[in-house]
Amino acid sequence: METSTISVIILTVSFIIFLAINVPVAVSIGLSAFITCLYALGPAKGASIISAVSSSSDIVALEMATGIDSFSLLAIPFFVLAGLFMARGGIARRLIDFASTLVGRFTGGLAYINILTCMFFGALSGSSIAAVSGVGGCMIPEMNRKGYDKNFNVAVTTTAATTGLLIPPSNIMIVYALIAGSGVSIIAMFMAGILPGIVTGLFLMIVAGIISKKRHYGTGDKATFLQMLKAFKGAFLSLLLIVIVMGGIFGGVFTATEAAAVAVLYAFFLSVIVYREIKIREIPGILLQAGITTSVVMLLIGASIAMSWVMTIENIPQTVSNALIALSSSKIVILLIINAVLLFVGLFMDMTPAVLIFTPIFLPVMMELGMEKIHFGIIMITNLCIGICTPPVGTCLFVACGVGETTISKVLPSMIPFFIAMVAALLLITYIPQLSLIIPQLLGLM
């Protein structure tokens, strides 16, 4: 058996074993990388075990340290902090008021408001969890009072919150751009996600509308022009964040990383000074929460980059690439296989480690078949958005069930139509590359 094949087996089996015994994901990644490196530098090379252990430890530690030594990654803690300010600072409620004047008059209007607000909020915070807690905390109780089924309300919020990972800014796009390497800028990824995010939101709205019509969920009053103007005025300062962040990047005023810092300052200004919904005494707790979230993400990134180094040295991506191409030379078939694998992975793995681990494996395959890196990144993120809505590791689903005061077993039947909508959107995004590429191409970003 070839050395690379043995390395694939060692890496995969050790990682699965560590996860099965509840070792944290980041630690599981680091340990499996260390064990694989140990084999590659020891038995595979005929070196002594002491020498292999020393060399493997040094390599994994060095790769973890250098992996997170990136200016681009500074954007992640800033966007995390900005999302926390937005979730608690009254921004979600003002977006809901504005969205209700746009779509509240239709059958199932509150479901449309929920989805549209999640799309707005995602475009501001770049966080699905912030959207679930911020928007869901307002919308789910309101939908309950208006006679909508509680589990339907949680299903709508859970799936709609994922649009924030496609509509810029998005932390996971920053991670993908870092791993994908040359030819993938953060701003190009941001722009590539706009249409796929809108398409996903529209598919969710179609399903919500069909269900609402069958169940006779109510409509709101048609908003007058003055009401729309008033709601827009209330949400204007919140929506202005999109203009500041994206306009500043395009205008060359600041980079994507610097834009994240600007987003923090602006979100702080709105939440603490203008809206006054966050008290000064609450800020240390928010900073602590942002620090904890960031530390988890950075540990994942560092460990995953160490694993990526091991995989590259052992030619694991090339081995997987050859195996996939041996199955079929059809781009359509290979994309179906990769989508199926990623959907399965999403059931058991959170989005960040999945992107970090599987990008180096699958990206070379797709590049060999002539796919753009940016398009594949959007496909991967869309895939994994479905995963964060599914048990057993569906973070959005867990948070939404907590907000909606229900259980996963009760919500899952209501989730099925929305899963179908998301898979349909995924297939559209997969096989119509221009949905992802047209905006970056028009803007000269690729």
Q: Where are the domains of the chain?
A: 1-67, 71-292
Tens digit of pLDDT for each residue in 225-245? Answer: 888 888 888 888 888 887 888
Average pLDDT, integer, range 312-331: 77
Percent of the chain with pLDDT over 70: 96
Q: How confident is the model over 439-443, as a mean pLDDT?
A: 90
* Buried residues in 129-150 as b, exposed as e (16+ CB within 10 A): bbbbbbbbbbbbeebbeeebeb
d(CA 102, CA 95): 11
Q: Tokens 């995602």 — which residue?
A: 122
d(Cα 11, Cα 33) in Å, to the nearest integer?
Answer: 7
Q: What are the angstrom distances between the C-alpha of 423 and each of 26, 206, 427? A: 28, 14, 6
Task: Tell me how far apart the alpha carbons of residues 286 and 293 are, in angstroms, rounded to a whole number.
Answer: 11
Mean pLDDT of 23-29: 84
Answer whether residue 434 shows pLDDT above 90: yes
Per-residue model confidence (pLDDT) at position 221: 66
User: What's residue 126's pLDDT?
Assistant: 67
Q: Which of 242, 262, 77 is nearest to 175 (CA)?
A: 77
**Rounded Cα–Cα distance for residues 64 and 300 (Å):** 9
Q: Is 170 exposed, middle or buried (0-12, 13-18, 19+ CB in 10 A)?
A: buried
Question: Is the Cα dihedral 356, 316, 15, 35 positive or negative?
Answer: negative
Of 206, 207, 117, 208, the residue nearest 163 (C-alpha): 117
pLDDT tens digits for 86-142?
878 878 778 878 888 887 777 888 889 889 888 887 767 667 777 787 788 888 888
Contact 396, 161 (CB under 8 A): yes
Banded model confidence at residue 380, pLDDT cuts 50, 70, 90: very high
Q: Which pair of tokens denotes residue 127?
A: 């966080």
Whether 376 shows a pLDDT value over 90: the answer reads yes
pTM: 0.82
Residue 381 predicted with pLDDT over 60: yes
The model's confidence at residue 326, banded by pLDDT at 50, 70 and 90, is confident
Contact in structure between 287 and 267 (CB atoms under 8 Å): no
